């Protein structure tokens, strides 16, 4: 399996709740940042898939396992990888780590999202080969 794509995130005050802990739903926003930046690193973006290929990637399943809290001003590293893909399905995996000076990063959360490739009519369709091939390069395998 290829190494994950990484992106740095600095926790903003607005992302925390009354207890000073990152509100749980923000992890899913960060997961989206990870997917978008992974695709950008492969030479394309969501807009291109939607406008040129007329394909959309709605989330049909999402989960997150919270291990430790993230707090305001923490510097985080989000690792994103393609866990597997089929002709019309992609499963992404995420690991969110807090960077700590002079110590190993702390695992804060792990998650996954599953996306089905659909057309404008919300009918399942195949992801065009250009995009599918780039994503396959991130997994090393594909399941039909």
* Active site residues per annotation: 17
Spatial strand order in the sheet of 59-66: 5-10, 75-86, 89-98, 106-116, 59-66
Which residue intervals of the chain are DSSP H helices?
26-41, 46-51, 129-139
126 within 8 A of 117, measured Cβ to Cβ: yes
Q: Which residues pair with 30 in a beta bridge?
A: none
Q: Which residues pair with 107 in a beta bridge?
A: 97
Q: Tokens 């992302």 label which residue?
A: 15
């Amino acid at each position: 399996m290829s190494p994950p794509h990484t992106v740095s995130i600095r926790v903003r005050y607005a992302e925390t709740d009354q207890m000073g802990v990152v509100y749980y739903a923000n992890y899913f926003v960060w997961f989206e940042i990870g997917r978008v930046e992974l695709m950008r690193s492969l030479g394309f973006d969501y807009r291109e898939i939607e406008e040129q290929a007329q394909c959309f990637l709605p989330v049909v399943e999402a989960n997150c396992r919270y291990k430790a809290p993230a707090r305001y001003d923490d510097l985080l590293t989000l690792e994103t990888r393609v866990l597997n893909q089929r002709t019309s399905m992609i499963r992404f995996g995420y690991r969110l780590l807090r960077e700590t000076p002079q110590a190993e990063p702390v695992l804060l959360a792990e998650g996954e999202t599953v996306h089905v490739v659909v057309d404008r009519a919300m009918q399942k369709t195949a992801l065009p080969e250009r995009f599918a091939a780039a994503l396959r390069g991130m997994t090393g395998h594909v399941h039909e």
